[in-house]
Amino acid sequence: MTGPLLVFAGRSNPLFSQAVCKALDIEPGRIDTVQFADGELSVEIGDNVRGGDVFVIQSTCKPGNDHLMELLIIIDALKRSSAGRITAAIPYYGYSRQDRKVKPRVPITAKLIADMLTAAGADRVLTMDLHAGQLMGFFDIPVDNLYALPTMIPYLKQKFGVEDVTIVSPDVGGLERARFVATRMDNSPFAVIDKRRSGANRVDSMTVVGDVQGQTCLIVDDIADTGGTLVKAAETLIKAGAKRVVAVCVHAVLSGDSRSRLRASPIEELVVTDTIPHPELDASDRISVISAAPVFAEAIRRIHSDDSVSSLFT
């Protein structure tokens, strides 16, 4: 028997948290956060959480280390305040790309973060579109990994239709994601780009595997970071005969000069979600934002009432 539903939010994505609370028709919990002159954080929970079913919403986006530490401190404060169950609701799970050893003497930081969340006192984790599904196995507590693409597909259908549309995976690892979208776009054809890397964020060459001649190509990926892969993929598709290129990414990291790089590219539009905030976007960025807050709100409602979360997308 769970206690009352309570939702608290860190400072990483306040608009997203407000949208979730609005969809749940509840007021967000009160947190007083203090940052000292040396950068240290302290929080004080402003509501009684004893026995409560508490959800903490916090994306570990830039500055990732600060937001992660804030999340851990909030969880610890709730644990010490006798919260009944604590769920870390992390729309964007930072460090998820550091999920394996790619060379000797390097960390598996995604596993370290999982251990830190558990040690802080989280009883379960709610997140969205982990970079690799096997990250769920890094936890010894329940993990619900939501998917944003089902909420984005209606927009894609309405905007681009399903005729002469090809779904493109930017690498072999994203084939399952591309196939998922292609199936729900009335079984649109899909293609894959064979990508050769020379290092992190460095792509040497790309080759299109599949027929994209005269097609509207939708590049589907989970993360848009520097934009280098997307831009090179778009240029490769145009050279292969694509009529137009649109990028569809769940998490808009958009680091460095990615926005100017994307503006100068053949990408007609970048469709993302609001798991990471970007209040400074304008029309020249050609970025459309689909809110994932309703999906998170429904998942929170179902977890609280012990209903199935997996049935959200069946």
> What CATH number has the domain bearing residue 139?
3.40.50.2020
Looking at residue 257, the DSSP 8-state letter turns out to be: T
- Kindly state whether residues 62 and 156 are assigned to the same domain: no
Q: Domain check: are 170 and 267 in the same one?
A: yes
Structure tokens at 104: 């000797």
User: Which residues are CB-contacts of 80 (< 8 A; sequence separation ≥ 6)?
Assistant: none
Are 117 and 20 in the same domain?
yes
Strand partners, 45: 31
Please name the residues in contact with 259: beta carbons below 8 A apart, sequence gap of 6 or more.
227, 281, 285
Burial class of residue 247, CB neighbours in 10 A (0-12, 13-18, 19+): buried
Range of the domain at 33: 5-147+294-313
Domain count, the chain: 2
The answer to whether the beta carbons of residues 151 and 133 sit under 8 Å apart is no
Are residues 196 and 264 both part of a single domain?
yes
Query: Does residue 282 share a domain with residue 180?
Result: yes
Catalytic residue among 79, 101, 157, 195: 195
Do 110 and 23 lie in one domain? The reply is yes
**Rg of the Cα atoms in the chain:** 20
Asked whether residue 136 falls in the same domain as residue 176, the answer is no
Asked if residue 284 and residue 204 are part of one domain, the reply reads yes
Tokens matching residue 149: 């693409």
Residue 178 and residue 124 share a domain = no
| pLDDT in 10s for each residue of the chain, 314 residues | 479 999 999 999 999 999 999 999 999 999 999 999 999 999 999 999 999 999 999 999 999 999 999 999 999 999 999 999 999 999 999 999 999 998 999 999 999 999 999 999 999 999 999 998 899 999 999 999 999 999 999 999 999 999 999 999 999 889 999 999 999 999 999 999 987 766 665 666 789 999 999 999 999 999 999 999 999 999 999 999 999 999 999 999 999 999 999 999 999 999 999 999 999 888 889 999 999 999 999 999 999 999 999 877 65
161 and 62, same structural domain? no
Measured CA to CA, the distance from residue 267 to residue 270 in angstroms comes to: 7
Residues 185, 115 share a domain: no
Q: Give the integer Cα–Cα distance in Å for 151 and 256.
A: 28
Amino acid 196: pLDDT: 73
What proportions of the chain, in percent to the nearest 5, are helix, strand and coil?
A: 35, 30, 35
Long-range contacts, stretch 278-281, CB < 8 angstroms, 24+ apart: 278/252, 278/254, 279/15
Give yes or no: residues 162 and 139 share one domain.
no
pLDDT for the residue 197: 64
The confidence score (pLDDT) of residue 45 equals 98
Q: Which of 272, 204, 191, 259 is nearest to 232 (CA)?
A: 204
Is 195 part of the annotated catalytic residue set? yes
> What does each C-alpha distance from 4 to 20, 245, 301 come to in angstroms?
16, 47, 11
3-state secondary structure of 52: coil
pTM for the structure as a whole: 0.93
Dihedral, 306, 307, 311, 312 alpha carbons, nearest 10: -90
Sign of the torsion formed by the C-alpha atoms of 293, 252, 74 and 125: positive
